Amino acid sequence: MRRRRAVSNIIGAVMLTALAVMLGFGVWAFTASISRTFMMSYSQDTQEKVANVRSSFIVEYGVKIDDQLILYLYNNGETRLVVVGYIFRDADGKSLNSLSPSNLLTLEPKGDAGRLTITIPSDAAKSVRIYAMPEQYFNPDDPFDKLDLSVVVEYEFA
């Protein structure tokens, strides 16, 4: 009796080559997908950090009248800022209130000034810490959402 092979050598080689090419394409697609995801995440994190570095503001002038503190803020950075809140502190640096939302003062980049009037919570308050963040990361529904991207300035008034 004669033995017959199920697949010839040529057809077997072609099938193994096709299988290797398909597996290689699958590995490439998986790797490309994962690297694209990592690249997008890294890019977004980097953009947030760059916006934070380009953000800067100062308290140009401040005056205390009775229980009111009037601050004139100056944006000397390259991004539009939204003042999101403030915390009063005593002489020891202890917070006297939780982060209170401000009246959402917006400062245009490079040279815009704005006035912020806030009520001082007690006589123990000696300084105020003001938080502002780049407008593109500000969420009006949750103003403290990305507080880690805020620029912080502390002003001593007493």
Tabulate helix, strand, coil % of the chain (nearest 5).
30, 35, 35
- For tokens 């503001």, name the residue: 57
* 155 contacts: CB under 8 Å, gap ≥ 6: 59, 62, 71, 127, 128, 129, 130
Q: Are residues 42 and 96 in the same domain?
A: no
**Total structural domains in the chain?**
2
Q: Are residues 121 and 135 in the same domain?
A: yes
- For tokens 């503190």, name the residue: 69
Q: Are residues 19 and 46 in the same domain?
A: yes
CATH number, domain with residue 98: 2.60.40
Q: Are residues 135 and 72 in the same domain?
A: yes
For residue 105, pLDDT over 70 is answered with yes
Q: Are residues 76 and 144 in the same domain?
A: yes
Q: Are residues 30 and 16 in the same domain?
A: yes
Q: Are residues 70 and 118 in the same domain?
A: yes
Contact 133, 147 (CB under 8 A): yes
pLDDT in tens, 22-34: 999 999 999 999 9
- pLDDT-derived band at 55, boundaries 50, 70, 90: confident
Per-chain mean pLDDT for the chain: 86
DSSP state of 19: H
**87: containing domain:** 56-156
Would strands 81-89 and 127-134 be described as parallel, antiparallel, or unpaired? antiparallel
- pLDDT-derived band at 4, boundaries 50, 70, 90: low
Distance CA 99, CA 155 (A): 15
